[in-house]
Structure 1
Amino acid sequence: MTRRRVVITGIGVVAPGGIGVKNFWSLLSGGRTATRGITFFDPAQFRSRVAAEIDFDAEANGLSPQEIRRMDRAAQLAVVAAREAVEDSGLAFGDLDPYRIGTTIGSAVGATTGLDQEYRVVSDSGRLELVDHTYAVPHLYNYLVPSSFAAEVAWAVGAEGPSTVVSTGCTSGLDSVGHAVELIREGSADVMIAGASDAPISPITMACFDAIKATTPRNDDPEHASRPFDGTRNGFVLGEGSAVFVLEELAGARRRGAHTYAEIAGYASRCNAFHMTGLRPDGAEMAEAIDVALAEARMNGDEIDYINAHGSGTKQNDRHETAAFKKSLGDHAYRTPVSSIKSMVGHSLGAIGSIEIAASVLAMEHHVVPPTANLHTPDPQCDLDYVPLTAREWATDAVLTVGSGFGGFQSAMVLTRPKRSV
């Protein structure tokens, strides 16, 4: 039986540095950074006091007062991104069978911002041991269950098919899109609204990462604090954001004359079953995910034109995935541009995988590889072409994008320009 092929026909992005796809790509292609000192709360007590925040006005971005009251910030970002993706796709959703439209939304930490805020309210900033629930927002249950994210996106677009939240840590944004692809391939849906959202910049999240010293203490220079693959890097910069896509079966997209950004040709996920936060230096598990994704795409490693790296800016991760690229692509890894957009938009945990898919697709669209900002002093153990500082014009027809997450998750996705046949 011929496998149904799945393409991206709509993109929506809400990310640090600007709202919408156009502003997002302008930031990346310009090599600008959106990291700064934290403004959402007083971070004085924390070791790391920098983040990649979004200047987001929910009402100005089309959300009603009731929606704003009902939804956590991460859900708001997802809905705004989904609406942009739907408009971009040109699909007349009102003419479609709603039971054939599904949603998958990834999130690592759910409604962290809302829960943090509401705890401070009901506990009177922690002074009450016995909290007073009457002060909480009436929709507090929606903050507790991340499934509300998928429900909100489904309501926003009128989708009544499969609806799922995928939460696999920092690979959630890749895995949610991978799951959506499988739903279309197996025939459970014809159209999927898929992506991820996280808004983790809150005291509780900063405290958690402070405890394990995963985030950077470079507080005196926030703009240059995120330094993937640089020899002076010392941790990642927390971020927030959302990216959502409209996915369709290729034949249907062609029948309606849709613009197809990319085909999702291959995807795979693995777990190292090794350590909660640790990674083996040989990159074997990520290499396995890459190999399986390439096999599903029916491609060899030397057909990859660009690698969008996880590139968190921790020594352990950067060396791990560098080894994985070499293991999977062989000598071709040395000839392939690699870059990390976390140098510009930070690490938005579960959302970043989808945001990086958006960056990968736009790199193909414009034949431009976004740079790794702040890369001045290369780590000798990271000896690939990481496109330092400045974007590069580059013929890009096939992109490998990868993710790595606490818990041992490793995911890989291959994006290509749709061909007439496979």
Structure 2
Amino acid sequence: MTGGRRVVITGIGTATPGGIGTKAFWELLMAGRTATRTISLFDPTGFRSRVAAECDFDPRAEGLSPQEARRMDRAAQLAVISAREAWQDSGLDGESVPPERLAVSVGSAVGNTISLEQEYVVASDGGSRWQVDHAYAVPHLYDYLVPSTLAVEVAWACGAEGPVSLTSTGCTSGLDAVGHGYHLIQEHAADVAVVGATDAPISPITVACFDAIRATTPRNDDPEHAARPFDASRNGFVLGEGAAVMVLEDRELAIRRGAHIYCEVVGFAARGNAFHMTGLKPDGREMAEAIRAAMDEARFAPEDIDYVNAHGSGTKQNDRHETAAFKRSLGPRAHEVPVSSIKSMVGHSLGAIGSIEVAACALAIEHQAVPPTANLRNPDPECDLDYVPLAAREQVVEGVLTVGSGFGGFQTAMVLAHPGR
């Protein structure tokens, strides 16, 4: 790794479809079990795509007070309970790090969508009033409008008084937020950073948006098998929700206090394609450039990568684009290293998924196992790599590449390494 301090992950917290908490999340991945189902958060009748990966959670049961549950949008709730788990997992306390040396970096693609949409419906009397009546607005409506309040809620939860930021770069938001926290510690702007991402986009307006561009799957009769990355029969992604938060800290500080270290963040890079809002070039050049830059920072050769966590959304153009990018950046190693997509099990939670995938990669290093790609029974001939179909695989995992691709042309890559490497 070139320059700056070394940065490690010492705490992980998740709130994902299939179970709240890191233990439930990892068990679902290792079982190859899908958490996709017919939408229950609202009546999806009439929509083209009516399937999603939803989180089952009770804010009160997860420790949120009635006031917190009333104030916070679902996305904020998922972020805060994940942050609390990560903070506890790290072993840090209020005296371990000066608050001004504690940073927060949160990612989100669509912010407080559910509450904002619900409150508009109320204030506009179901959309019948062009001029909305502010008297019907809740006191926290401004909080729902401004996505940065998600980062503020996490900062309040852990007492952070250092740099606090919200990154919104579409579906790479979660990766980019972790990367920002990584840079803050590298550059001595913070000693510890609480990083991650959250999105709760399963609402009528979000589903309608993706219906309009036909990005989500219409496979409504078989929700359990609707997400099929790299499969020849794939026809769009399954919308998801969730959050993952991690504690990053200076490696020397972590070692000095005897912290458990999951892995080290050793490389990060982002690129744009300046091409199309939703389209991708088939050659994967921009993603390949991000991968190469992240690997250069990590001082990794292709042979050092033991697992690739793919974006693997399940759209035809994305899966082919990624496959080309891996071949372009990893060369012959692309055909040897296992690649998988956890979106096949937990759906695509937009801005949150990048952080959820980083958490999965850290756990893969911790447990020396690779999550599978569920529902991959009929591989697309154009996607001809080892996508770990159906079942998890135990193997040596010391170097991991995880990537993200977002509408607007965002391409991000991160490299993680075993702490003993």
What is the Cα deviation at residue 99 of structure 1?
0.3
**CA–CA distance in 1 between the matches of 2:205 and 2:215?**
14
What residue in structure 1 maps to residue 400 of structure 2?
399
What residue in structure 1 maps to residue 362 of structure 2?
361
Superimposed CA distance per residue, residues 288-323 of structure 1 (whole angstroms, 9 cap, x where no aligned partner): 000000000011011100000000000100000000
Q: How does 1:13-412 map to 2 (within 5 A)?
A: 13-412=14-413
Change in Cα spacing, 1:122 to 1:2, as seen in structure 2 (3 Å) is closer
Please, what TM-score do these two structures have when normalized by structure 1? 0.98
What is the Cα deviation at residue 92 of structure 1?
1.8
**CA–CA distance in 2 between the matches of 1:12 and 1:412?**
21
**CA–CA distance in 2 between the matches of 1:151 and 1:88?**
21
Give the number of aligned pairs. Answer: 420
Letter in 2 for 1:348: S
The 3-state SS of whatever aligns with 1:93 is coil
Letter in 2 for 1:115: L
What is the Cα deviation at residue 2 of structure 1?
5.4
Superimposed CA distance per residue, residues 246-287 of structure 1 (whole angstroms, 9 cap, x where no aligned partner): 000000000011111010000000000011001000000000
Change in Cα spacing, 1:95 to 1:385, as seen in structure 2 (3 Å) is closer
Letter in 2 for 1:160: E
Q: Does 1:413 align with 2:414?
A: yes
- Confirm or deny: 8 A CA contact 2:30 2:392 kept in the other structure: yes
Q: Does 1:3 align with 2:8?
A: no
What is the Cα deviation at residue 93 of structure 1?
2.6
What is the Cα deviation at residue 127 of structure 1?
2.2
**CA–CA distance in 1 between the matches of 2:297 and 2:420?**
15
The 3-state SS of whatever aligns with 1:9 is strand
**CA–CA distance in 2 between the matches of 1:313 and 1:331?**
24
What is the Cα deviation at residue 87 of structure 1?
0.3
What is the Cα deviation at residue 123 of structure 1?
1.6
What is the Cα deviation at residue 376 of structure 1?
0.6
What residue in structure 1 maps to residue 13 of structure 2?
12
Please, what TM-score do these two structures have when normalized by structure 2? 0.99
Letter in 2 for 1:335: E
The 3-state SS of whatever aligns with 2:95 is helix
**CA–CA distance in 1 between the matches of 2:137 and 2:54?**
25
Superimposed CA distance per residue, residues 171-200 of structure 1 (whole angstroms, 9 cap, x where no aligned partner): 000000000011111111000000000000
Comparing 128-137 and 401-410, the one that deviates more:
128-137
**CA–CA distance in 2 between the matches of 1:157 and 1:3?**
25
Comparing 302-311 and 410-419, the one that deviates more:
410-419
**CA–CA distance in 2 between the matches of 1:377 and 1:229?**
8
**CA–CA distance in 2 between the matches of 1:154 and 1:93?**
13
What is the Cα deviation at residue 155 of structure 1?
0.4
- Confirm or deny: 8 A CA contact 2:97 2:192 kept in the other structure: no
The 3-state SS of whatever aligns with 2:415 is strand
Letter in 2 for 1:90: G
**CA–CA distance in 1 between the matches of 2:138 and 2:338?**
48
Letter in 1 for 2:168: S
What is the Cα deviation at residue 326 of structure 1?
0.5
Structure 1: which 5+ runs fail to align?
none
Comparing 136-145 and 86-95, the one that deviates more:
86-95
**CA–CA distance in 2 between the matches of 1:4 and 1:175?**
19
Superimposed CA distance per residue, residues 217-267 of structure 1 (whole angstroms, 9 cap, x where no aligned partner): 000000000000000000000000000000000000000111110100000
Letter in 2 for 1:392: R
**CA–CA distance in 1 between the matches of 2:419 and 2:293?**
20
Letter in 2 for 1:152: E
**CA–CA distance in 2 between the matches of 1:30 and 1:114?**
34
**CA–CA distance in 2 between the matches of 1:285 and 1:2?**
24
The 3-state SS of whatever aligns with 1:307 is strand
**CA–CA distance in 1 between the matches of 2:115 and 2:310?**
30
What is the Cα deviation at residue 419 of structure 1?
4.0
Change in Cα spacing, 1:2 to 1:209, as seen in structure 2 (3 Å) is closer
What is the Cα deviation at residue 348 of structure 1?
0.2
Structure 2: which 5+ runs fail to align?
none
**CA–CA distance in 2 between the matches of 1:405 and 1:2?**
29
